[in-house]
Chain A
Amino acid sequence: MPPILRIILLMYPRAYRERYGAEIADVVARDEAASGGGVRFWARVVVDHVFAARRVRRRERATGRGEMIFEDARAAIRSVTRARRFALFASITLGLGIGATASVLTVLDRVVLRPLPWDAPERLVQIGTYIMGGDELAVLSGPLLRDFVEELDVVETVIGATRARPVRGDLTAPVQLSAMRVSAGYFPFFEGRAVAGRLLDEADHAEGAGPVVVLSHAYWNEAFGADPSAVGASMELDGVRHTVVGVLDPTFTAPRPEFWGDHDVLMPIGLYQRELSEGSFGIQAAVRLRPGISEPALNSQLERVGRQRYEDEDGFVSGFGSHPLRDTVIGPEVARNLGRVAGAVLLLLLVGCVNVASLLLTRAAQRTHEFRTRVSLGATRPRLLAQLCWESVSLALLGSLFGSAIAWAGVEFFRLNAPAGVPRIAEISFDPRAFLLTVVLSLGTVLIFGLAPSWTASRARGISLNRSRSSPTRGASRLRSGLVGVETGLAAALVIWSGLLARDLVEMTTEHPGFTGESLVAASINLGGRPDGASHETMRDFVRRLDEAARAVPGVTSVAFATELPYSGNALVASMTPLESPDVAEGTFVPIVAIEGDYFDALGLRFVQGVPFDTRTDDDQMLAVVNEAFVEQYWPGLDPLRQSIKSGGEDVDDEGVYRVVGVVADVRTEPGQPAPAKMYADYTNESFGRFNVLLEVGGPGEPAVQALRAAVATLDPGLPLNEVTTLAAVEARALERPTFYALIFSTFGLAALALALIGVYGTTAYATAARHKEIGIRVALGEGEQRIVRMILRRTVVVVSVGAALGAGLALLGGRLASDALRLVHYADPLTYLGVMAWVVGTAAIAAWLPARRLTRVDPSEALRGESG
């Protein structure tokens, strides 16, 4: 029998199929032979059978011999579509819980759980140094990388990469590119392929090799219009002509692009080409372990090799070590935050399940009457159960339909709104497995929470048919109250957490960051990449002249220079010795900001003690300003204005002593985080290649930036102006991450609360309907309406209050475990707890009042007539 015919026959009831199936097949086979078959033949057959099967089934139903499975499914769909409000609430609840869960689990899976995309990812290990006794793995210097490449034998490959910012000079205006200098083996390590030309090979890394460059696919598109002839062309980078040898595959990924890749161009790191500076730390390095080699074995070898170069354990480099590359890719913070989001979403799912359970329970109670009637009319329990199953399945399907829409939207939301620093987020897409998950989850939920109560209800006996609609039994009503209490509690816990995060965010936004001047325009300049190298004198001279030129720009009211912007986190350190400080070693590394111009004024830094130094005078005095944290750390209890700081340590030649002339209030490097110790010195004394220009502009910023560009161009036509922004934008970016997580938690919290309120509403509506008659009597006996409503509300408020109190306990417990998620607000902040509890109880009271209010309009005579309830 052709398969299509098999399917056709499935449309008929089984008995019919068994009786006529073979004969029908025979007839169809003869017809096919006679007509030659074909699509048109089969189309006619299908249409004929569809109509015939419909007539057969319809007739069977009419004569009461319907096949049960069809009957039950139809009855179930009818029953669900008839109870429209119930179906809507239940499936929205399911959809919300399941959709949110599926989307968060998708994100968690893709970002955290999925293995790295390279071969044998468990053997990929990041290696590095520990700096000054710290326990965070840091970068290496060039010579150290060379030692590792030459001497490690427990690994298959050692690779290194470092960021560079070459300036491309062969265009109409100089452009600073983002580049990666990579060692030999980098491309095979991350499985990079060339789409045009070739990637770097051993010869490019060898001593005396000509300068070459590989283009990223994006830059090839952008700068060369994806022209294949770009291969072989030349580019001037930092004044040197480089030959383009190839274009990288667009799907190429390196871990943590900000450290490892995803740049305009890639060039050889030149381990053997140029003199690598011993002190220039900035190289990320990773190894592929030989099979069977453990990380401790690697670590001891790193230690042995590294010690040959850096002998002193008390020095700048205090140790050598490694951790799985995976940790670099994902980062502990992202894993922790996403784990918390997953915890919150599971709570939301739980609220959803409890809510569906309470809705189904209420509905089952409402249908006791219906079940009794049907049992009286001869329905068997298996038959009732079958129908209930079908009802659950149709609810679950509706729920997963909503759920997958929400899951899809949720994943898109994450993809588009995730804060910077969440890795692999760009590659995320809605996962069909997530859809399957939603279906399984919603089926499970409905079957577990829906069938049990319905089954109990179906135990009804026919004898009570003549009684009017039953009043709820004590036990069932307690169970429902319990469920409402539980879901309110869970929702309250979620709302409390989101409240804490939101309050924390508000505190962060409103706290004084230690500086003002959000309207300042900032841009960065990098003198370090100049081909002629930049001496202290030329840098100093450049900044002076730019200061003068910028101040001459119309509309510019003040000009400042600083090596670090607030909230930037890019701190520079210099070797300094705060004198007279108890137990500070010579040459401690102190975060330093080198400034010039109107820095203190423009940023509105508040002086706690002393005065600023004037940067524009020509004397050679060495003056410094420190912040409060600095005083706290190095000179506790001493008068800072009598102190001084010796520049350099033992091993640094250029010595001088800074005299502290002022103390400023702390400036945050990150919102809500305590400020580190910091020292401010004149750029004249401490010059660095990279610095920021800050302009205060009377009018719109754009003309001023144009003027600044022009000023820079007159001083050095090959120097680009980068990262033009405003301080307000810098501040907004710093708040991106806390905002995102506060938003997620608030969404979940509010969704959970909405579900809990639906539960309260549904349960109260049912309870009031069931007590219709009793209330009719009370009204008839002259009881006040307000009193009746109060009576109903009291019960809800008690249940919900107990739930909210339990939720607060849960919130406290969870908050203790995750207290580091909060920066400024304590996890047990009483204001948030009380506020949220009051809010939850208040809204629950309203949700209960809405159906209860109807009771006061009860007409006693109608209620007493009994059956209308």
Chain B
Amino acid sequence: MTTRTFQVLLALVEGPVHGYGIRQRVAERTDGEVKLGSGTLYEVIHRLSADGMISEVDPPEAVSGSGGPRRRFYTLTETGRGALRAEVRRMERDVQYARGVELLSNG
């Protein structure tokens, strides 16, 4: 799983959000370290929905009706959640290993 994919999936854990929202959540959480370009963002969204990792949902009442283009809201599917969980576990193992060899304490 690429960083971009991982970050998009992770952003959706907090609940359904539109494309621009995904990018904002990613930027906030990583302190701007991970920047998704507008092209990349939608390419990843398109791929994840094609693969059934995320799906489109109706926008919440509060947001619909505001100006601007109609924004599609996305949410994690079960497959997506499962894939994300598996990825996080793999990362966890890697982090534990790294701790075990005292990679971080030296830093």
Contacts and interface: CB of A to CB of B under 8 A. Distances in A.
Contacts of A22: 69-70
B42 A24 contact: yes
A56 B38 contact: no
A52 B39 contact: yes
A167 B38 CA distance: 81
A16 interface: yes
Interface of chain B: mostly helix, strand, loop or mixed: helix
Contact of A20 (B37, B46, B50, B68): B46
Interface residues of A, number: 25
Contacts of B30: none
Interface of B: 18-20, 23, 37-43, 45-47, 50, 68-72
A407 to B, nearest CB: 42
Given A20-B46, A30-B20, A45 B69 contact: no
A224 B50 CA distance: 81
A52 B37 contact: yes
Contact of B19 (A27, A31, A56): A27
B37 A23 contact: no
Contact of A56 (B23, B41, B43, B72): B43
A145 B46 CA distance: 87
A30 B38 CA distance: 10
Given A52-B39, A53-B39, 10 more contacts: A20-B42, A20-B45, A23-B69, A24-B38, A26-B69, A28-B38, A52-B42, A52-B43, A53-B43, A55-B43
A311 B82 CA distance: 117
B39 A49 contact: yes
A49 B47 contact: no
Contacts of A27: 19-20, 23, 38, 41
Contacts of A63: 50
Contacts of A433: none
Nearest to A59: B47
The 3 closest A-B CB pairs, nearest first, are A48-B37, A52-B39, A49-B39
A18 B70 CA distance: 13
Which of B39, B46, B71 has the most C-beta atoms of chain A within 10 angstroms of its own C-beta?
B39
A21 to B, nearest CB: 9
11 contacts: A16-B46, A22-B70, A26-B20, A26-B71, A27-B20, A31-B38, A49-B37, A50-B39, A52-B37, A52-B40, A53-B43
Given A20-B42, A20-B46, A59-B47, A45 B19 contact: no
B39 A24 contact: yes
B71 A23 contact: yes
Contacts of A19: 46
B47 to A, nearest CB: 7
Interface in A789-844: none
A16 B42 CA distance: 10
A56 B45 CA distance: 11
A611 B40 CA distance: 103
A44 interface: yes
Contacts of A31: 38
B26 to A, nearest CB: 13
A490 to B, nearest CB: 55
Contacts of B39: 8, 24, 45, 48-53
A22 B70 CA distance: 8
Contacts of A16: 46
Which of B23, B43, B70 neighbours the largest number of chain A CB atoms within 10 Å of its CB? B43
Contacts of A53: 39, 43
A45 B38 contact: yes
Interface string A7-36: 010000000100110111111101100000
B69 A48 contact: no
Nearest to A28: B38
B52 to A, nearest CB: 13
A49 B37 CA distance: 8
Contacts of A28: 38
A51 B4 CA distance: 14
Contacts of B43: 52-53, 55-56
Contacts of A24: 38-39, 42
